């Protein structure tokens, strides 16, 4: 039987490698902070630099890009080290968690502080902590349940249109299922409702109901991850149509792996 510790290890490695390639190919969220006039103007005024001069300085742009490449290289190295070593320094895991939290908060800011967006980042941000604290204790199990539930509740709040359904959700559903727009929105609302119901089941006092919730999260987590591939694939462009999206799938596969980790752990105990 697959060991739970291997599942959570693979989940963390995928987040690291997927993030490494995302930030190598595209900007890190640091640009959201450093190219924000409200954030930078007080500091720039302090050192006597006008915002316009700062914003138009190519050296600033190059520095942000270089920092992004350094961070992506660090994530790649960490992912490879963890893949081939059983033990990693705790401090490294905490640094990685800080980076992911910082990037999640910056991206949340860029998404108008929508609560579901931040909730959806829970597995992305905290899988490293679950990997680090992988022990047979109730605290870890409860923490992992909370992280899983927050991720799926965030998705559910968007899908139910409690916050505006992101256009990407609708387009991916249309591309993957062949449904028209209205039917795709209805499909999303149905699964948004399921997201909330099965998330709450994770906290049931009966393990049978917890397992049902976990199985749903495993299946839906994998499906939503691979929808990034299915929904963006265009036959006329072939594999190149996925150049900008495959890493988005890799980063989201842990949305299925983390509940699978908890399910396997529960079965063992």
Q: Which residues pair with 234 in a beta bridge?
A: 238
> Token pair of 54, please?
């700062």
Residues 128, 93: contact at Cβ < 8 Å? Answer: yes
- The CA distance from 114 to 40, in Å, is 23
So what's the pLDDT on residue 55? 92
Sequence-separated (6 or more) residues with CB below 8 Å from residue 234 = 241
- The CA distance from 211 to 14, in Å, is 24
Outline where DSSP puts E strands in the chain: none
> Alpha carbon of 218 to those of 29, 38, 39: distances in Å?
28, 41, 40
> Token pair of 234, please?
């265009």
Query: What number of other Cβ atoms are within 10 A of residue 232's Cβ?
Result: 21
So what's the pLDDT on residue 46? 94
Residues 247, 16: contact at Cβ < 8 Å? Answer: no
Axis-axis angle for helices 181-201, 207-230 (nearest 10):
150
Name the nearest CA neighbour of 195 among 107, 111, 255, 126: 255
What is the pTM (predicted TM-score) of this model? 0.94
Tell me, rounded to whole angstroms, the distance of Cα 126 from its chain centroid. 10
Assess whether pLDDT exceeds 70 at residue 16.
yes
Assess whether pLDDT exceeds 90 at residue 129.
yes
> Each residue of 175-225: pLDDT tens digit?
888 899 999 999 999 999 999 999 999 999 999 999 999 999 999 999 999
Residues 60, 54: contact at Cβ < 8 Å? Answer: yes
Q: How confident is the model at residue 238 (pLDDT cuts 50, 70, 90)?
A: low
> Token pair of 226, please?
């691979």
So what's the pLDDT on residue 240? 61
Query: What number of other Cβ atoms are within 10 A of residue 184's Cβ?
Result: 21
So what's the pLDDT on residue 87? 79
């Amino acid at each position: 039987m697959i060991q739970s510790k291997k599942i959570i290890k693979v989940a963390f490695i995928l987040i690291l490698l997927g993030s490494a390639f995302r930030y190598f190919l595209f900007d890190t969220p640091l640009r959201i902070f450093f190219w924000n006039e409200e954030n930078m103007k007080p500091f720039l005024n302090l050192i006597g630099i006008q915002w316009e001069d700062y914003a138009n300085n190519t050296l600033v742009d190059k520095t942000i890009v270089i920092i992004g490449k350094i961070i992506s290289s660090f994530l790649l190295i960490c992912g490879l080290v963890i893949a081939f070593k059983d033990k990693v320094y705790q401090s490294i895991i905490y640094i990685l968690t800080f980076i992911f939290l910082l990037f999640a908060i910056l991206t949340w800011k860029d998404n108008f502080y929508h609560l579901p967006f931040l909730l959806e980042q829970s597995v992305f941000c905290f899988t490293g902590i679950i990997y680090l604290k992988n022990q047979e204790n109730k605290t870890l199990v409860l923490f992992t349940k909370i992280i899983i539930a927050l991720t799926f509740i965030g998705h559910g709040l968007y899908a139910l249109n409690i916050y505006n359904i992101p256009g990407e959700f609708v387009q991916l559903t249309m591309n993957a299922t062949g449904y028209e727009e209205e039917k795709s929105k209805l499909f999303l609302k149905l699964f948004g409702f399921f997201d909330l119901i099965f998330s709450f089941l994770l906290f049931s006092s009966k393990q049978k109901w917890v397992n049902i919730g976990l199985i749903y999260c495993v299946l839906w987590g994998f499906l939503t991850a691979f929808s990034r591939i299915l929904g963006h694939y265009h036959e006329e462009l072939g594999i190149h149509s996925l150049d900008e999206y495959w890493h988005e799938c890799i980063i989201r596969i842990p949305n299925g792996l983390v509940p699978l980790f908890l399910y396997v752990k529960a079965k063992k105990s």
